[in-house]
Chains A and B, each alone.
Chain A
Amino acid sequence: MSMWIVGIIVLLVKLAVVLVVLLLLASYLVWLERKFLARLQIRYGPNRAGKFGLLQPIADAVKLIAKEDTVPAAADRLIFLSAPAIVAGTALLMFGVVPFGSDLTLWGQKIPLVISDINVGLLFVFALSSLQVYGVTLGGWASNSKFSLLGGIRGAAQMISYELALGLSLVPVVMYARSLSLVDIVNAQEPYPFILVQPISFVIFFIAAMAESKRIPFDLPEAENELGAGYHTEYSGMRFGLFFLGEYVHMQVFGALLAVFFLGGWHGPLLPPWIWLLLKIIAISLLMIWIRGTLPRLRYDQLMAIGWKVLIPAALLNILITGAVLLI
């Protein structure tokens, strides 16, 4: 009985820590994006709110909370209100299976540093990623606006197409790790990270992850200068903030997944394991921001063509080659 209660308390503490760290990291990822993107464009980012603009995310949060909360008159109220929650919620839930260290031993108890070690962790991640499509589509449809609807439909089509490439690029990783559980995949990278044996998979997963989180060059669903603001046009105040934060949490989650599947998870010399995971997430985010600052946006047909006609055949070919290499 007391073991059970201790277990629940440990779980709650882990949940609280992960949630707080994730939300802080997401808001400061916004800061990092603005400053880094600015430097790539030979300008300063925000540097007035606090030293180096470090209080800018807090100022933005205060501004968003103080804004009027409008719901379009003819919008479907329940769906309108729940769409940002679905987007942000599924993104946060994906962190439930990411390991951020080996087992910690406190007072004789072995505490696994993962919120929940499901033995089909990979499937769980994909299921949540598919549910996120709902958030985007419902947000676009429930806003009762043409721009939002177009943005939502394009977003849904884009996300569904790239999910196939996402899944197929991870099959070789599962082949190497012989398990779908993320903890086992990280442990299997103890000798060397999988990027060394699966570079093509890394590239395909990276491109598909950028398309899933609707980052430039794949951000047509929320194309600021073409579609109004796409599926989140009609959202104001903190609801918009939630969509926005959901996008950055999504970026972080895919950074974490890339780290887990290809970069060795929390492995690394000298520093504590969770710092390594954090460093890898930030490195991947910097790479995504660098790509954002360099490439133009893909036209919609180019986007779909790349998803279906380039990435999926490449991923299938990769699986064949990996299978052949593993057999020999």
Chain B
Amino acid sequence: MNSVWEAITALAAGFALTFKHLFRKPITEQYPEFKRPLPARSRARIVLTRDPDGGERCVACYLCSAACPVSCISMQSAEREDGRRYAAWFRINFARCIYCGLCEEACPTSAIQLTPDFENCRRDILTLVFEKEDLLVDHCGKDPQYNFYKYAGVVTGEGGKGTHVKEDEPVDVRSNMP
């Protein structure tokens, strides 16, 4: 008889709980009206950033393309007259991209970065292939100071020998002789 009573109270408790739920405001966050703020390092759409002096960071070194697990990045390198490398064309196929961030980790110039912008849905899958003009942005992204050509050991328009960061002036070895 005790187990019958226990069963009845258990059932009644269940029904009372669902009845109470009828008068609660639903806890659903309705999507387009309310967008939950994402963590700052969320990985979604890829952008190509510029350095603080306004030049493109991407040197078309093919490291991101090599790191990509689904081979969605392709590019062609070219060199300007002042010695600075750049990408003649740069293409990312967002239909294949898995937003893993390995390209961002591989990039030596902090050019390619992932932003939290995930609302990238299209009706036609071919419009998901982004070219360089779609990817290039005018700001520095996550790294507000790095300018690769200020550190790299090549002579470009950024500076000649001895003018790079952490580099000493070239020494005239004949002045070292006794």
Contacts and interface: CB of A to CB of B under 8 A. Distances in A.
Given A44-B26, A44-B30, A39 B15 contact: no
A39 B21 contact: yes
Contacts of B14: 294-295
Interface residues on B, range: 10 to 19
A40 B28 contact: no
User: Size band of the A side of the interface?
Assistant: 10 to 19
Contacts, number: 29
A42 B15 contact: no
Contacts of B24: 42
A41 B21 contact: yes
Nearest to B32: A48
A13 interface: no
B24 to A, nearest CB: 6
Contacts of B30: 44, 47
A110 interface: no
Contact of B18 (A40, A43, A44, A47): A40
Interface in B128-166: none
B26 A40 contact: no
29 contacts: A38-B26, A39-B21, A39-B22, A39-B26, A40-B18, A40-B21, A40-B22, A41-B21, A42-B21, A42-B24, A42-B26, A42-B27, A43-B26, A43-B27, A43-B28, A44-B26, A44-B28, A44-B30, A47-B30, A290-B15, A290-B18, A290-B19, A293-B18, A294-B14, A294-B15, A294-B17, A294-B18, A295-B11, A295-B14
Interface of A: 38-44, 47, 290, 293-295
